[in-house]
Amino acid sequence: MDSGKKKEKREALQRIISTLANKNDEIQNFIDTLNQTLKGVQENSSNILSELDEEFDSLYSILDEVKESMINSIKQEQARKSQELQSQLSQCNNALENSEELLEFATRSLDIKEPEEFSKAARQIKDRVTMASAFRLSLKPKVSDNMTHLMVDFSQERQILQTLKFLPVPKAPEIDPVECLVADNSVTVAWRMPEEDNKIDHFILEYRKTNFDGLPRVKDERCWEIVDNIKGTEYTLSGLKFDSKYMNFRVRACNKAVAGEYSDPVTLETKALNFNLDNSSSHLNLRVEDTCVEWDPTGGKGQDSKIKGKENKGSVHVTSLKKHSSGTPSPKRTSVGSRPPAVRGSRDRFTGESYTVLGDTAIESGQHYWEVKAQKDCKSYSVGVAYKTLGKFDQLGKTNTSWCIHVNNWLQNTFAAKHNNKVKALDVAVPERIGVFCDFDGGQLSFYDANSKQLLYSFKAKFTQPVLPGFMVWCGGLSLSTGMQVPSAVRTLQKSENGMTGSTSSLNNITQ
C-alpha cells in the first residue's frame, strides 16, 4: 500500500473514530435522560398514589372497589412505563458497551504498522460500524415520566360515585419553530394544540439558557424558568440578555384541574457579543468592575497585583462606584503633585484624554452591537474601538488604530468623531445612551442614539486586525450593556446609510 492510500485510510479511520466518539456522547446523554425519566416515573407515581390515598380516605366504603381499581391502573401504568424504560435503557447500555469496544479497537488499529494488517483492520472496523446497533437506536424515550393522567379530584364526583374516572388531561401543545421569532433581545414563542380543546384554561411556558444545540441535556444545564397563566398561544419574552448561544423552550396546557404533557422542546439561537472590561488594560486612575468603569483621582487600581513596590503598601481598596467631585484636575493639565502614586522608575502610563480601558473580547468577524451610558455629570468620555496594538500612551482617536466619538463637558461642550488625530464636530445632541454598531467584515463602525436609533456618525474603514471595544472616561463613569443583538432599526438603517454619512476620509482634511 503506497503512502497516499494509507493516508486516505487513516483519515477515513479518524473520521470514523470522531463519529463514534460523538455518537457515544449522544448515547450517554440519552442514557442520562432515560435514568432521569425512570426516576421521574417512580417519584411521580409515588406522589400520585399519595394523593389518591388522601382522596379515598374521605370516601365511604362504597369507594373501596373503585379505589382498588384505580390503584391497579396506576401500578399497571407504572409497571408498563418502567418496563419500557428498563428495556430501552438495557438496549442503550449494550449499544454503548459495544460502541466503546469498537472505538477502543479502532484506536488501537491506528498503531498497526503492517499495511495489509492495517487494511484488514480498517475493513473490519468499517463493517462493524455499518452494523453497529448504536446507529439504529431511537434516542427518544418511548414513554415519559408524566403520570398526571391518573390524578383525581372527587369534589364533584362524590355525587356520582359509580361513574368515577380519571380526569381528562390536555394533550401536549406543538411549538412551531417557523412562527417563533428572535429579534431585538426578545423571543416570541408560538404554539398550537394538535386538536381543539375548549377545556383549556391557560398555558405554562418554560425556558432556560444553554450553550448546547439540539435536544436539552439532563446534566450541566440551568434550571427551567416558568411563565404561568398564559391565556393565548403566543408569548414574548422581552428585555433578555443573550449571554448564551441558545435557549430551550417547552409549553404545556392546563385545564381547571391538571396540567398536560410538555411539548417537544425547541431550541432557538440567541447568539450575541458578550464582553467585560479588561482591568489589565486600564489606566491606573480607573476603577473597573466587569461592565462599569469610573475615574478615580486617588488611583482606582492602587490594589492591583501588577503594581508592586512600597508605594502600594498603604493603598486602600474601594469597591463602591462613588463619584469624586472635589479637587478635580484637568485632563489636559495634570500636575505632578496631583498624580496617583506610581511604581518607582515608571512614568504615568497615559496623558491627557488617555484614561482608557479596553474590552476583554476581540471582534474578528460579523456584526455586533453594544450600548454605553455615562454618569449624568461626567466631564469627558470617549466610546469606540481599537486594534489590540493600541499603544500604552495612545489615546482613542489619536492614531490610525482607533476610532471613537468623544464627548467633552469640561469648560466648553463639544461632541466629535475622532480618528488618526483628526476630529469632526457633530451637530447633534449627545444622547443619554450611545449604541455602537460594528460591522467588521463590512468595515463600518456606527454610533446611534440608543433610544431613538438616530444615526450620530459612521466610520468607513477596512479593518486589518481584530478590534476591541474601547472607552475613555474622566471625572465620571460609564456603564455598558452587552449581550445585545443588533436592533432591527439599526439593520434597516444600514441599508440606506452607505454614501449618506461621513467617513474617516472626511477627517483627513480636518486638523485637530
What separation, in Å, do the N-terminal and C-terminal C-alpha atoms of the chain show? Answer: 71
* Per-residue confidence (pLDDT) for residue 29, from 0 to 100: 81
Q: What is the mean pLDDT of residues 101-108?
A: 84
Do 44 and 105 lie in a common domain?
A: yes
* Per-residue confidence (pLDDT) for residue 57, from 0 to 100: 73
Do 209 and 77 lie in a common domain?
A: no
Chosen domain end from 211, 241, 269: 269
Residue 158 resides in a domain:
no
Do 256 and 369 lie in a common domain?
A: no
Do 381 and 489 lie in a common domain?
A: yes
Please report where in the chains the cell 461592565 appears, as a residue: 291
Residue 213 resides in a domain:
yes
Q: What is the mean pLDDT of residues 226-254?
A: 93
Residues 6 or more apart whose Cβ sits within 8 Å of residue 449: 431, 433, 434, 435, 456
* Per-residue confidence (pLDDT) for residue 327, from 0 to 100: 43
Do 121 and 211 lie in a common domain?
A: no
**Between residues 180 and 306, the one the model is more confident about:** 180
CATH assignment of the domain containing 489: 2.60.120.920
Per residue in 46-101, pLDDT (tens digit) is 887 887 778 767 765 666 777 788 888 999 989 998 998 998 888 888 888 888 88
Residue 254 resides in a domain:
yes
Residue 114 resides in a domain:
yes
Domain extent, residue 205, equals 174-269
Grid coordinates of 492: 434597516
Per residue in 190-207, pLDDT (tens digit) is 999 999 888 899 999 999
Coil vs helix vs strand at 110:
coil
Longest dimension (CA), the chain: 99
Residue 82 resides in a domain:
yes
Do 259 and 205 lie in a common domain?
A: yes
For the chain, what's the residue count? 512
Q: Which of 131-135, 289-293, 323-327 comes out lowest in average pLDDT?
A: 323-327
* Per-residue confidence (pLDDT) for residue 403, from 0 to 100: 96
pLDDT above 90 for 128: no
pLDDT above 50 for 342: no
* Per-residue confidence (pLDDT) for residue 227, from 0 to 100: 95
Residue 456 resides in a domain:
yes
Residue 277 resides in a domain:
no
* Per-residue confidence (pLDDT) for residue 418, from 0 to 100: 94
Do 361 and 478 lie in a common domain?
A: yes
Coil vs helix vs strand at 77:
helix
* Per-residue confidence (pLDDT) for residue 91, from 0 to 100: 85
Q: What is the mean pLDDT of residues 317-343?
A: 37
**Between residues 134 and 430, the one the model is more confident about:** 430
Per residue in 24-54, pLDDT (tens digit) is 888 888 888 888 888 888 988 888 788 777 8
Please report where in the chains the cell 443573550 appears, as a residue: 242
Do 129 and 181 lie in a common domain?
A: no
C-alpha distances (whole Å) from 90 to each of 87, 207, 263 are 5, 31, 26
**Between residues 255 and 64, the one the model is more confident about:** 255
Chosen domain end from 252, 269, 286: 269
Chosen domain end from 219, 244, 269: 269
Do 493 and 376 lie in a common domain?
A: yes
Total domains in the chain come to 3
